[in-house]
Homo-oligomer: A and B are copies of this chain.
Amino acid sequence: MTPEFQPLSQSAMNFHSDNNAAVCPEVLEAIAAANSITDGSYDGDRLSVRLDGVFGEFFGAPCRVFAVTSGTAANSLGLAAMVPPWGAVVCHREAHIEVDECGAPEFFTGGAKLILADGDGGKLTTETVRQVVAAMRGDVHQVQVGALSLTQATEYGRAYTPVEVAALSDDAKARGWRVHMDGARFANALVHLGCHPGDVTWRAGVDVLSFGCIKNGGMSADAIVVFDEQLAETLPYRKKRAGHMPSKGRFAAAQLLAMIETVAWQRNAKAANAGAAQIAAAAGNRLMHPVEANELFVRVGVDGATKLREQGFGFYDWGDAGSGEARFVVAWDTSAADIDALAAALREIAA
């Protein structure tokens, strides 16, 4: 794996990460609008109090929504509400919560463990989950698994279908676990699946969703969406004592509301996915995983990577050193020119 946070090469054509992308106009305008009136502090403002309702309508089910300032906070606070300190969470071996959050889940839960399962393209299956927990025991000498965490879309740009999520959830629930979804790129998965947001979340057994807004054109707000009221009880205290209840909370709520109410989430994700699909078609058999969101993994070869960089493309090497694998992320605002250029360059490599 290659980090997402390497210093940005000043590439003309940047495919490093959707974290490098701009904030979309609707979000910026909502921030400005929120500034036009004096309002309550913390969560007591006129925007924050609308979050539950707006997201409830979006998902088609009652839910509690907590704005936070990073996906790491969303994931870790959500998980902490689901498992005790002696609990455990089953997730994919390459899940962001395991690989890229510096132990945040352990910090927030008070020391719960992540139990690592396998699966092609970052996707868990009922079988790979079963394998890792088969040997675990219910006695007091072991941590007790209390949750399953799925990443939607996965670290390899794959999407779980509603049927797949439901199958995993069913097994999880049968074991007494809760189901968590890391949706840093939830919008991208959703437009790929073409289903209702509820189909791949609460209807499929998801209890808590980290709803990604930042990568998809937001600025500084993601959300924890809790479909099980009981799991929401401790979150206000957890948020506050983690420093995740900012005094001008209205500027976080504004971003989330704008994303949903203007349907920018959909336009942005569609744009990013379409760009990725166009490039994927050009990559041909160099493509390592089906493209179901806005990320591509391509065997460009070591020489190919060098050449691409010479041409001005910015991206991360992936896989083992010298593997010649590359990750390209298309953002909501990646230009058609950049997309065309990368498609052309990969077509040449693939040829």
Contacts and interface: CB of A to CB of B under 8 A. Distances in A.
B104 A242 contact: yes
Interface stretch (A15-23, A268-276, A297-305): A15-23
A247 B71 contact: yes
Interface string A24-44: 000010011001101111111
Nearest to A219: B251
Nearest to A98: B113
A72 B106 CA distance: 19
Contacts of A104: 240-243
Grouping DSSP codes into helix (H, G, I), strand (E, B) and loop, the A interface class, with mixed when no group exceeds half, is: loop
Contact of A247 (B44, B214, B234): B214
A112 interface: yes
A21 B8 contact: no
Contact of A8 (B35, B45, B103): B45
Contacts of A32: 28
Contacts of A84: 234, 237
B40 A7 contact: yes
A237 B84 CA distance: 10
A27 to B, nearest CB: 9
A106 B106 contact: yes
B243 A70 contact: yes
Contacts of A77: 243
A92 B322 CA distance: 28
A64 to B, nearest CB: 14
A18 to B, nearest CB: 9
B41 A17 contact: yes
A17 B39 CA distance: 10
Contacts of A246: 69-70, 214, 220
Contacts of A74: 243
B70 A86 contact: no
A152 interface: no
Contacts of A134: 320
Contact of A102 (B5, B108, B140): B140
A142 interface: yes
Interface string A66-101: 001111111011000000111010000000000111
14 contacts: A4-B141, A20-B41, A42-B141, A86-B107, A101-B141, A102-B237, A106-B106, A107-B110, A107-B242, A111-B241, A134-B320, A140-B240, A242-B242, A242-B243
Given A8-B38, A103-B113, A106-B113, 20 more contacts: A3-B137, A3-B139, A3-B141, A4-B141, A5-B141, A22-B35, A84-B234, A85-B103, A86-B107, A102-B140, A102-B142, A102-B241, A103-B143, A104-B242, A140-B239, A214-B247, A219-B251, A220-B220, A220-B251, A243-B244
